[in-house]
Amino acid sequence: MKQIRNTHAKTEILNIINNSEVALSHADIQKKIGDMCNRVTIYRVLERLEKEGNIHKITNVDGVVNFAKCDHICQTDHHTHDHIHFNCEKCKTMICIENIAPAISLPEDFTVSSYNLVISGICPKCQNL
């Protein structure tokens, strides 16, 4: 069994993601973490957290990669997220919507290993502005 290394930066970044109601971009995380570590360290920590099954990444409609907590520990080699992601066109917030699982049906010759479904629109917060 591979030992999981915990560093102060890794712990802080995981706490930031776990305490967020929305998915966060690298830039969002860098703003929140401040001068604790540089951007390369943040990238490495995010990669490690994803490999360990603690977070998953979502690419929004603008091509920006966002990171969100895994509500359950995923396998280190496969994330199992049967939910959609909502990308607000106004505030650019990315939200995991856990209670809706899309039905994916492919021809029998295809094997699904993962999927990323992003719906674009206006979030409730922006509709009330």
Whether residue 83 is annotated as binding a ligand: the answer is no
122: exposed, middle or buried (C-beta count within 10 Å: 0-12, 13-18, 19+)? middle
Whether residue 26 is annotated as binding a ligand: the answer is no
Whether residue 88 is annotated as binding a ligand: the answer is yes
Dihedral, CA atoms, 94, 97, 103, 106, nearest 10 degrees?
30
Pairing relation of β-strands 55-59 and 84-88?
Answer: unpaired
Query: Are the C-beta atoms of residues 74 and 113 closer than 8 Å to each other?
Result: no
Whether residue 96 is annotated as binding a ligand: the answer is no
The annotated binding site for Zn(2+) is made up of: 88, 91, 123, 126
Annotated binding-site positions: 78, 88, 91, 98, 123, 126
- Binding site listing for Fe cation: 78, 98
